[in-house]
Amino acid sequence: MKKMIMVGLLLVMVLVGLVACTEADTVNYNIDKSADSFEINRRIVFFNGITDTYLLTVEGLCSLDPSDEKKLRVTCKVGDEEYKRHYLGLSDNVSYFVEQTDAIHADPFHYRVIFRPESILPHIDIQTSKGE
**DSSP for 85-120?**
EEEEE--SSEEEEEEE-S-----TT-------HHHH
Whole-prediction pTM? 0.63
- Per-residue pLDDT, averaged over 43-56, amounts to 91
Residue 123 confidence class, pLDDT cut points 50, 70, 90: low
Q: Read off the pLDDT of residues 74-111 as tens digits, 9 standing for 90 and up.
A: 999 999 989 999 999 899 999 999 998 888 777 777 76
